[in-house]
Structure 1
């Protein structure tokens, strides 16, 4: 029987490739080229003599089916679902075992004869060694999903087919089956099968996950996803664990997470795998004691995995009580003053866990955090949740008190100690905190001379007021805070090292609001606090919440509070919308760092601005000038680009002596 011209050309191409003359069409991918070379060099397949379809006997087929009986039972629903979506498009469906033997098949009865002739049938062998390059065989060899479209097949009798296959792997990552959909006829374009590849991949993962859940139905399983709403319905990652948190097995997404973790934190040995607590940067008690429900009734714990936020839920085995509740480390007792400071942010969970243990101690605490992150709020929560709660909490901002007054403010003075003092003298802030907590905010800005006196107070637990001859005993707990790097200040000679170690009995690091995974909780909490303070009720509309969640918040919680207060003051009615928020919240971009532009020439047709001093502006001034020119001196637009307010832009203009063209100097 004469071959069609297209098939003869296909055979000639393969023969030239076998002779060492690479004549593969340019559109054929490397994966197809490599498979053709295996067929010619390793399997010794002859392109001039296509092999007939190989179909196993009934007994041999049953042997293969029995070897994957558990998988076939689990996969049936996925197979039927996929076939239901592709049958009307002319596809048949094959499920093969790890040797390429078709152990499950779905096809239209009216195409039965044509499908049998093409080898798309139960018991057919699609191993690459026998059938040549094809979706199933090449997928088995490479372990990757693939579409083998028409002329990409090795055997000339298959070049009318289009086949798409994806591997199904066992919990150890080994290919145990292949899911394939094939059509007798299809469009010429390879891109026509893009959706087929995605669909088969999706259902292969579904079958793989169903098998995993069936296989480890008697184990604890952590299910995780990047979206809280989907973690229960179709969480992508599955990891089976022992009750001590050690890993048993993982699905495709779980193994990817483990591999990424090992690339970042290589183990001491190949046999050393991370536990669940290392993978999710969380306490075992948090993972095994996931809260009963959130506000939306979703039982999920927010965690960090390789610096990305994910949500984890726990699937417990049925039919037997779980020991984890008794073997897991006991959870810390509830402390309302501290608990309300965070939602489900892992970093805050760790910080508050340490704070709960420190609340009853007298050890000094140093709180680090950017401006506005809530350092004083945390310090007051420590005080309110400890044994000194009924005693004074005295807060001192070391950066706000004039240097000339800070000594008298802190240590107090006797009558007549200096000119201009109170006639009866004054108890210093340290004495006022006797029995309670002294909170020294921005301790990094305290003058060196006062650092020496403060060190003596901490060492001797006594204070010497100005003009006094006898020290006064004080019982205080000292909590300090700073946004500065104290170790850098020590190296620069601006902070005493011995004082640092006195203050740093324990260190708490508050994350910036932009780094927190519980921003939604923080926004709600601040909003509720403002409503209670103002006696008002405002609903946050979805567009406003989205803008608040997307903003970078360089001023952290303090800036968030101001933005919400502004919105509540200006909103019409009882609903806060995007347009009620300050302009800086309307875009997701944060503050822009000013850099000197390459060229400072005026835009064509624009007037040249003047500077108040007649001298060229500094690098920062030049950068601001360039932004002003590009925006045609629209101050609101520049403020949005910089993530600051309009008054701040005007202040910067005054600082650099910038005056808008055809306008009077800003005042």
Structure 2
């Protein structure tokens, strides 16, 4: 790949760089010229030669930190594009595909153009394409159909954003590729936001002894995708800052290196400990060197707590008509029963909880069955929380999200030098991390067959043998597993070991799908209560509740929570959720698929909502912390408009979007932000 211009030389940007329509055309044109220089011909056949497994393993190990933070975001992003003939890809900084998630019907087409893990999609190898060109230019862009240099790739539409590490260097790229006929104008925005989400999450892990300050001009944007994050040494020396921080401070990354905490925030770093202690639940206001006032909270790693938000660790709210949850003794303190909190009145759920209480404390393995989104992970945490091991680690492993060639080292650990690219001090692995506590094997049905025997041996002998080690280490874990698959059918097909199944299924419980539950209204009210703060309440109209009851909820609780979160934002706390507050795609699915089952008043309400709705809605996506990309996008637009005093052109330029994008959302934005 050709050397790209240093990040500092490209100027200051408020968010991941994105090319405008004209800039994009120029970038594509320049990329085509580079492709010719590389000697690539448009009619060349895709290179199907598979790299050696060792090369891919080396790349995965080299990019372990990137994958660790990207994998959950990829799953969230894929949830939003599922069934759109598309796939999500993560690549290295050199353009090698590391991991992919895709629709089954598109995977075959992807394999025909060599769009699979291990393949090189740099410009030098594939000519103009979103991955290679985005990495070369360090710009987020879409390459659609005929814009690809090679004819074989013109059946694709690809949107890609580079991912920068906390030191300002390109570490990889996130891409959504699909059939060129399924192009959607909002895909690039989703990819850009997801890439920024990955970048922000990296800050939490890469500076273990640093002081991390989170800030924004508006306090409600703290904890969202658009907050600024700046990192300083304990002595106050500047270490790093994300893009939103650079924009708010008004200095590019290179210039910030010459600053300290005191020169940027006007107070000595020693004042932070006193300033951000105490019982006040509110963030503190600080003044930046450029005179801009911001709200801030500080993470002091040594204290391992958010200093400005002690209320963040309060117990979950109790449903209004639920019985008080029983208390259980844990050492010197009492705490709410986690299992009781999940019991909201459905007979099937109550039966599950009753069975789990009977085996609590006996270290009987539990297998949780249920559709995706039914809350299997929450139930596993509740089982751990009510057990005698609650003070010990709860370690979750998603067997479906870790590549086959990484899951062995992730589970069992490895010694120094066990393979090329291994960490200098090795890794103890998830099983040993859970020693004394609970190991949750989520999506156990996706565990590779060759590792099932190793797991069985660990469960039988209670000993772990890390890769590259001749020593066995004793381990004491309670095991909970979960899957949405029919394991007995997998056993019959030879895809799952029968002996492992019987080792895991000491007690098998099944969580009902949301559409099967009798406590739907209470669940809705409970979610709504959690979405509003400070005791505020939001009502829900009878028509909307009737509609929600009739829907089949293929995404179960995750889908319901996301939909209600959007509705609360649209209606505002202390308001009432009406039909026009529901997402357009949800209403369209209801209208087209369920007309025969809807009463006239519901159909009339849907028709009215279409008449008053905005033309296009940004697809909704929750991030790993529970935020939604739709909410984040609207918040970012509103914030930039306030910063630029209603100037749409300036706000659009700062966000890297067109003015029309903001105009299309004007009815969803606060009235005070538009000039």
TM range (shorter): 0.3 to 0.5
TM-score (norm. length: structure 2)? 0.40
TM-score by length of structure 1 reads: 0.40
